[in-house]
Chain A
Amino acid sequence: MEPHATRIVVWDVPPAVECGAPFRVKVGVKCAAECGATARGVEIRDAHGDVVGTGAVGDVPAAGTSALYYADVEVHGPAAEGLHGWEARVAELVDLPTGRVTHAAASVPFHVRAVRAPECVMKVIAVDARSKLPIPGARVVVHPYRTLTNLDGVAELRLPKGAYRLFVSGRDRFPFRSDGEIVGDVTIQAELDEDLGPSDAELWS
């Protein structure tokens, strides 16, 4: 009998981690035949193939899933700045009494972005373009840094110096974009246009 195929999913990888700093990722494992097999070990390897973290899949499926069991693994950011290709792996599952491989091994690549320590603070104030009222929960992105605005429509990103492209976007709003060079602390007011959808004249009528 052929071993069941294994699906593997990696999520909650921070978009940016400081070089050498610890962080956690989730590695989910699912039998493609949905047989519900658990108790599987996972490992994370860096770009050199070295194991940088291990964990064991638990017996509670990830929220919202039917049978994706997962491990919460602690790892440390790469020492060198940049985008690094890592890999999550799950070993094959062997039935000990018979020695038969019941589930195949699997792996999935993912990226880890290592960044240097921040030097500046970008304060973003998100407001509605017409009313100028603050927009809470707006997404503030200066790749690879991300955060959300607070109830006052304010967010802060800690960034290294250099060129940036700021996007601020939110539910039912068109993205605000600003390109520039950050050399010190800065405050940017992002005025977002509402996506009102088609007007009466543009609807069916």
Chain B
Amino acid sequence: MTITTVDGLIAGFKTTRYFHKSVGGNLTTGRPFSHWAMNGVPGPGAFSTSINGHILSSSQVVAISIASPAVVSVTPDHFLVAGDPVYFTTTGALPTGLTANTTYFVVGATVGQYNVALTPGGAAINTSGSQSGTHTAYAQIDGQLPFYDAPAGQSTYMARWAASTLVAGKLMLCDRLWHNGGYSATSNAVQTCTTPQWPDRDNNGGHTGEGVLLALEISAAVGAAAPTIQVAYTNTLGVARTLAPFVIAAVNSMVIGNFLPIALQAGDTGVQSLQSIKLSTSWLAGTINMVAYRVITTIDLLAAAAANHIGPVDGGLPQMFNGSVPFLLSTTPGAAPNATWGTLTVAQG
């Protein structure tokens, strides 16, 4: 189903949600900047330390064992940590011991598995009896703008977005599909990874990567060097591509949040998986991560402290797929620390 009428839009409007983010370190003029790890509302997000990374999803189909304690299993992995709130829905029946739409807290998280408790750090819950149907776990990823899936048979669209910032520029609303870590920022050797299949959130709601882009995000300040990069990826047609560079050059001493998009090779329209990166020289210090993301929409902020907004008509109702992990990127002509705030409203139908 889809929204095709004004009445459908009116019926589908959901709660308006507010965000603000503070940027503590200096930006780099003209380079995108990720608000993922910045303090604010929501609070800061974390980075993966795994070279193969984690897919990021605010909803995941899970299997729940009938055991003491119950084990929640996710394929290939989740990105939850102890204390994260999570709740479950099902198309059938959850095992005895778990109730749908009740908030639990993650305990005992390992790769692809976790337990849940009634309180943070509490005793892991035991399950018994029988179960049926497909179970889905909902957990907002630290750092993401809140997002909740559409009911079965419906879709979600970005309906209204208003924002302001203390530095003029452009603000992009993006869906963060995957990120990794574990790279050496001081190595100029080829560093390889085996990425999991992207979640079904490319431009077509699939995982072949249409519209999915790559970027290098800095999570701890790098040194006074400006390497180039060669990225090997597989495009949407499954063709291996190599030597993809930065869209815009790195500069010395970039701080956390600096976000350097990777240029696609000629004819490519997206990325299906990442195979390796190679820095031309050592970055001397710091921590770097790769991110797979999809741009949902952008808004122009024409001057400092000058809000702007787009609505469902002038915004074009871009679709946001189930499990989305929305986050913000900004590009400014200045380099000063700043703050950004705004609201986001979706429509479902």
The answer to whether A and B come from one shared complex is no
